[in-house]
């Protein structure tokens, strides 16, 4: 491969930032001496290197991108394609401080839009949901050379704890000793006592289903990977970006060691030698706490041979899709892959991969300690255990609520102190979910009941809207979200999300074109590559069905 790089040189600062991550390719008389496969084999450093430059300088210049390309032997056009894929990376000069104000469906109802016109030291842009709906309105500040930070306006949110959240707010998230005092790492010890196969067997007995939205049986996934040849990888999907969702953040910020313990058990059970935690870029506090918890656990010798790497996302909802996430880590654009093959056969770096989200994983220590049968006795036969719900919007006490599966939506709303104002609609499952009416308050919150009613629990979003809310404005924001977050790879999603947004915009002053939306939705569901396209029009469809727009 005879790559041609640009003539642009990095500044001294840029070079130093890049040098911290990537060794230079050695060359003599213009010939590469040490490079080739060795350098190209480090392509997974591409996004971390771009992010490091972005974080230090506030943007990625031609010289910096060129230097990264020279060291990794990545073509500049491809690196530019990767850099320009992410909302948090700028390839144009930007002020040192950029404030991303959330104008998404929760924040825009309560003053989020006013924050856009507040004076700021730098640039102010809008952002989709920051996962702070329980403390809205929120903004995320990127500071070149400084610490990124989330600022929220609302009061501290409620945490209604069950077994999964029991330590949140009660344990010092920076203290391994405190975590162990409260039962931490006992699950890992037990797992090592009973052995890997027994752990997988218990998880199967527990009938744990994935909490990421697809509800796939975790034990089946694990067994499939354990039976594949090494090397295998484990990925903890912490790219929580579904509008209205914040539960994984609450876990990572409040009980980070629990996530590390769960990952360690999962990797042990499935024979994975390396684990990644992919945390969304807009979660700086969760990232630092998880990173510190991982380091402390390693230092204490609790991780054994397992290597865990915290990988920070850079602003792309689509990277929560499992195969897009793999491409993102590997240094490619976060474009989902056509399945099959499935991750259990060919996932990260083409190897067998376990991928579970944070909430799914933190169930594991409980299952190992108490046994699969005991776990399965909670909830219903098809929906075992407890589930975390993200309550926000027009409710008395927004927050994260852990309840046994099978309790009703009405119970949940009751727990949160009931509606604030006359309820008009509830968004269930997230932006990829559905609007439902008060008729659904009697619905038990289980996978099977949701399926029977044609809805989804999705990422556990329960966002209430009262009669004062401008639902057309809300639905339009959802349509805009999907158009902005589509990766652009396949036609049905790339163009379909635009046409949906346009149709919703027209419906402000005219009746909505139902056949057109239905046609688009059907083709997007049938022909898109991934779940984003499949679900992008669901909220619009359900809003039409309820007469909200």
Q: Binding residues for other proteins, per CB under 8 A? A: 1-4, 6, 62, 65, 75-81, 84-87, 90-92, 125-128, 315-316, 333, 338, 480, 483-492, 494-499, 501-508, 516, 519-520, 522-523, 525-529, 534
SS3 assignment, position 274: strand
Smallest separation, CB 442 to other proteins (Å): 28
Name which of 532, 527, 483 is nearest 335 in CA terms.
532
| Distance in angstroms (rounded) separating the CA atoms of residues 43 and 74 | 7
Instruction: State which residue, 232 or 483, has the beta carbon closest to other proteins.
Output: 483
Smallest separation, CB 100 to other proteins (Å): 10
| Distance in angstroms (rounded) separating the CA atoms of residues 531 and 493 | 10
Smallest separation, CB 266 to other proteins (Å): 27
| Distance in angstroms (rounded) separating the CA atoms of residues 270 and 453 | 35
Residue whose token pair is 């933190």: 362
Smallest separation, CB 418 to other proteins (Å): 35
| Distance in angstroms (rounded) separating the CA atoms of residues 202 and 375 | 9
Smallest separation, CB 400 to other proteins (Å): 26
Name every residue whose Cβ is closer than 8 Å to that of residue 486 and which is 6 or more positions away in sequence. Answer: 318, 493, 494, 497, 532, 533, 536
Instruction: State which residue, 209 or 480, has the beta carbon closest to other proteins.
Output: 480
Q: Where are the alpha helices (DSSP H) in 41-137?
A: 46-57, 62-72, 76-83
Instruction: State which residue, 247 or 337, has the beta carbon closest to other proteins.
Output: 337
| Distance in angstroms (rounded) separating the CA atoms of residues 398 and 22 | 44
Residue whose token pair is 């209430």: 464
Instruction: State which residue, 166 or 499, has the beta carbon closest to other proteins.
Output: 499
Name every residue whose Cβ is closer than 8 Å to that of residue 453 and which is 6 or more positions away in sequence. Answer: 440, 443
Instruction: State which residue, 20 or 506, has the beta carbon closest to other proteins.
Output: 506
Contact 430, 390 (CB under 8 A): no
Output the CA–CA distances (angstroms, integers) from residue 461 to 208, 248, 259, in the order listed: 19, 12, 21
Instruction: State which residue, 88 or 302, has the beta carbon closest to other proteins.
Output: 88
Instruction: State which residue, 54 or 363, has the beta carbon closest to other proteins.
Output: 54
| Distance in angstroms (rounded) separating the CA atoms of residues 13 and 411 | 56
Count of helix runs (H) and strand runs (E) in the chain? 23, 18
Instruction: State which residue, 32 or 292, has the beta carbon closest to other proteins.
Output: 32
Instruction: State which residue, 433 or 496, has the beta carbon closest to other proteins.
Output: 496
Smallest separation, CB 282 to other proteins (Å): 12
Smallest separation, CB 472 to other proteins (Å): 12
Contact 50, 82 (CB under 8 A): yes
- Containing 177, the helix (H) or strand (E) segment is helix 176-181
| Long-range Cβ contact pairs of 501-509 (< 8 A, separation 24 or more) | 501/476, 504/472, 504/475, 504/476, 504/479, 504/540, 504/549, 505/476, 505/479, 507/472, 507/549, 508/472, 508/476
Smallest separation, CB 450 to other proteins (Å): 16
DSSP letter string over 210-264? Answer: -TTTT--BHHHHHHHHHTSPSP-EEEEEE---STT--HHHHHHHH-HHHHHHHHH
Smallest separation, CB 432 to other proteins (Å): 15
Smallest separation, CB 10 to other proteins (Å): 14
Smallest separation, CB 373 to other proteins (Å): 32
| Distance in angstroms (rounded) separating the CA atoms of residues 298 and 234 | 17
Instruction: State which residue, 296 or 487, has the beta carbon closest to other proteins.
Output: 487
Contact 228, 344 (CB under 8 A): yes
Instruction: State which residue, 142 or 497, has the beta carbon closest to other proteins.
Output: 497
- Bond before 231 cis per omega within 30 degrees: yes
Instruction: State which residue, 190 or 333, has the beta carbon closest to other proteins.
Output: 333
Smallest separation, CB 82 to other proteins (Å): 8
């Amino acid at each position: 491969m005879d790559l041609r790089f640009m003539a642009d040189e990095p500044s001294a600062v840029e070079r130093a930032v890049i040098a911290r991550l990537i060794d230079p390719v050695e060359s003599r008389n213009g010939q590469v001496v040490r490079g080739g496969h060795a350098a190209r084999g480090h392509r997974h450093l591409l996004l971390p290197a771009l992010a490091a430059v972005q974080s230090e300088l506030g943007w990625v210049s031609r010289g910096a991108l060129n230097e990264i390309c020279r060291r990794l032997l990545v073509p500049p056009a491809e690196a530019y394609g990767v850099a320009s894929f992410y909302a948090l990376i700028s390839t144009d000069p930007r002020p040192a401080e950029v404030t991303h104000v959330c104008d998404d469906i929760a924040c825009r109802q309560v003053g989020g839009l006013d924050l856009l016109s507040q004076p700021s030291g730098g640039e102010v842009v809008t952002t989709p949901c920051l996962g702070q709906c329980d403390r809205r309105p929120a903004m995320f500040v990127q500071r070149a050379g400084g610490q990124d930070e989330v600022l929220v306006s609302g009061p501290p949110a409620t945490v209604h704890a069950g077994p999964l959240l029991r330590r949140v707010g009660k344990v010092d998230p920076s203290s391994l000793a405190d975590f162990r005092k409260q039962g931490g790492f006992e699950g890992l010890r037990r797992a090592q006592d009973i052995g890997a196969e027994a752990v997988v067997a218990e998880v199967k007995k527990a009938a744990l289903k994935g909490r990421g939205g697809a509800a796939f049986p975790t034990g089946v996934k694990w067994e499939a990977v354990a039976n594949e040849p090494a090397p295998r990888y484990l990925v903890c999907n912490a790219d929580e970006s579904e509008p209205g969702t914040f539960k994984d953040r609450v876990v990572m910020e409040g009980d980070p060691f629990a996530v590390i313990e769960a990952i360690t058990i999962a990797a042990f059970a499935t024979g994975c030698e390396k684990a990644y935690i992919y945390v969304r870029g807009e979660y700086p506090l969760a990232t630092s706490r998880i990173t510190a918890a991982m380091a402390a656990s390693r230092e204490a010798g609790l991780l054994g041979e397992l290597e865990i790497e915290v990988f920070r996302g850079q602003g792309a909802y689509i990277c929560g899709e499992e195969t897009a996430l793999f491409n993102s880590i590997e240094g490619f654009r976060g474009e989902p892959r056509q399945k099959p093959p499935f991750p259990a056969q060919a996932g990260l770096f083409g190897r067998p991969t376990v991928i579970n989200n944070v909430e799914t994983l933190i169930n594991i220590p409980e299952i190992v300690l108490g046994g699969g049968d005991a776990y399965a006795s909670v909830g219903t036969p098809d929906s075992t255990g407890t589930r975390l719900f993200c309550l926000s919007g027009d409710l008395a006490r927004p927050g994260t609520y852990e309840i046994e599966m099978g309790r009703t939506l009405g119970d949940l709303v009751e727990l949160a102190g009931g509606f604030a104002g006359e309820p008009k609609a509830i968004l269930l499952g997230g932006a990829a979910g559905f609007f439902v009416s008060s008729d659904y308050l009697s619905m038990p919150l289980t996978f099977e009941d949701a399926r029977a009613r044609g809805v989804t629990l999705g990422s556990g979003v329960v966002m209430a809207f009262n009669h004062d809310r401008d639902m057309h404005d809300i639905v339009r924001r959802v349509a805009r979200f999907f158009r902005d977050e589509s990766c652009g790879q396949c036609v049905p999603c790339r163009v379909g999300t635009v046409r949906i947004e346009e149709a919703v915009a027209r419906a402000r002053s005219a009746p909505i074109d139902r056949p057109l939306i239905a046609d688009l939705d059907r083709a997007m569901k049938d022909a898109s590559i991934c779940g984003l396209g499949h679900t992008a029009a669901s909220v619009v469809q359900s809003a039409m069905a309820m007469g909200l727009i």
